[in-house]
Amino acid sequence: MELSRIAVAGASGLIGGALVRSLTADGHDVVRLVRRAPRSADEVQWDPEGRRVDAAGLAGCDAVVNLAGAGVGSRRWTEAYKTRIRCSRALGTTALAEAIASLDEPPKVFVNGSAIGYYGETGERTIDESAPAGNGFLPELCVEWEQAAMPAEKAGVRTVFTRTGLVVARKGGAWGKLFPLFKAGLGGRMGDGRQYWSFISLHDEVAAIRHLMATDGLSGAFNLTAPNPLTNREITEAMGRVLHRPTLFPVPAPVLRAVLGEMAGDVLGSQRVLPKRLLESGFTFAFPEIEGAVKAAL
């Protein structure tokens, strides 16, 4: 599919920023959604929590990508912050989907961010996109987040949900907090280290989003995770090898719970997620293994 004009919500975030840089470098016309008053022709104002979007600014876009939302790992999950996380995603997605549906000529595709948090705790069992939603805050959030895109789907717009895993990046996200610790020789497994972490390099995350945008006929949920999820212990060892640092400082589960509160359950939880539909669609990972992903981040 030929895509020339693409709107991106969440363009200032880790994934959104990398996506905008990639698209711009290849000559695409990128429109960024911003909360403040627009300062240039390539900006469109919106208010996610207020469910307001300048729909006229989306006219002529071939694709809309929504990666906006308050950071899940940015701070402790108080009830107030959980509400902010939920509203920033569900209400923002509803606003975009309704704006898209209102256009006389809507975009060809709507890519809406989601997360493998959809599945909840899965232990050692491997799962793909056919698995049902789990229980708890993150699964409920992801279900609501995806359902909020319904207006665009009903309007006949091809809609894709990117259920992203842990993104391996030098700055931003969970890995951005891990790198300084490991570089200082203070890295170590978390809890017993047997929980599975489903990761993806930032390079492959952006490439996968672009693949899903550009490939006709692809819709529904796609797991954006490398095909070889590993345990936290195995990832810790790989980080130590790549960075040439010891990994002697494990973080006991009680300490994580004391520091992180409810969010510790997701750090200690296990998700062994496979990108079945992404692989079936013909996508090829540049960094399918953790060591390559870590080196790419550096």
Domains recognised in the chain with CATH numbers: 5-297 (3.40.50.720)
Q: How crowded is the C-beta side of 26, counted as CA atoms within 13 Å?
A: 14
Give the integer Cα–Cα distance in Å for 262 and 136: 10
Nearest residue to 89 (alpha-carbon basis) of 115, 63, 109, 69: 69
26-53 tens-digit pLDDT? 999 999 999 999 999 899 999 998 889 9
Report the pLDDT value the prediction gives residue 184, as an integer from 0 to 100: 84
Report the pLDDT value the prediction gives residue 254, as an integer from 0 to 100: 66
Asked if 257 contacts 202 with a C-beta cutoff of 8 angstroms, the reply is no
Percent of the chain having pLDDT more than 70?
Answer: 92
CA torsion sign, 241 to 236 to 19 to 63?
Answer: positive
Report the pLDDT value the prediction gives residue 214, as an integer from 0 to 100: 96
Using the predicted structure, report yes or no on whether residue 124 has a pLDDT greater than 90.
Answer: yes
Q: What angle do CA 167, 216, 129 make, to 5 degrees?
A: 45
Using the predicted structure, report yes or no on whether residue 90 has a pLDDT greater than 90.
Answer: yes
Report the pLDDT value the prediction gives residue 161, as an integer from 0 to 100: 98
153-165 tens-digit pLDDT? 999 999 999 999 9
Please state, rounded to an integer, the average pLDDT across all residues of the chain: 90
Q: What angle do CA 221, 222, 226 make, to 5 degrees?
A: 155
Residue positions counted in the chain? 298
Residue 294 to residues 17, 98, 175, 182, 228, Cα–Cα distance (Å): 19, 39, 9, 12, 14
Over residues 82-96, mean pLDDT: 91
Q: Helical H runs in the chain?
A: 14-25, 79-102, 137-147, 150-154, 173-183, 202-214, 232-243, 253-260, 264-268, 276-280, 290-297
Using the predicted structure, report yes or no on whether residue 148 has a pLDDT greater than 90.
Answer: yes
224-264 tens-digit pLDDT? 999 999 999 999 999 899 999 988 877 665 655 654 455 55
Structure tokens at 116: 């493998």
Asked if 239 contacts 294 with a C-beta cutoff of 8 angstroms, the reply is yes
Report the pLDDT value the prediction gives residue 234, as an integer from 0 to 100: 95
In degrees and rounded to multiples of 5, residue 27 shows phi and psi of 90, 10
Report the pLDDT value the prediction gives residue 65, as an integer from 0 to 100: 98
Give the integer Cα–Cα distance in Å for 118 and 236: 25
**Greatest alpha-carbon span in the chain:** 60
Asked if 276 contacts 129 with a C-beta cutoff of 8 angstroms, the reply is yes
Q: How confident is the model at residue 268 (pLDDT cuts 50, 70, 90)?
A: low
Report the pLDDT value the prediction gives residue 291, as an integer from 0 to 100: 96
Structure tokens at 269: 């939880």
Q: Which one-letter DSSP state was computed for residue 284?
A: -
Higher pLDDT, 251 or 191: 191
Q: What angle do CA 136, 138, 139 make, to 5 degrees?
A: 70
Using the predicted structure, report yes or no on whether residue 69 has a pLDDT greater than 90.
Answer: no
Report the pLDDT value the prediction gives residue 74, as an integer from 0 to 100: 64
- State the Cα torsion 171-174-178-180 to the nearest 10°: 30
Asked if 11 contacts 17 with a C-beta cutoff of 8 angstroms, the reply is yes
Report the pLDDT value the prediction gives residue 266, as an integer from 0 to 100: 56
Q: How confident is the model at residue 102 (pLDDT cuts 50, 70, 90)?
A: very high
Radius of gyration, CA atoms only, the chain: 19
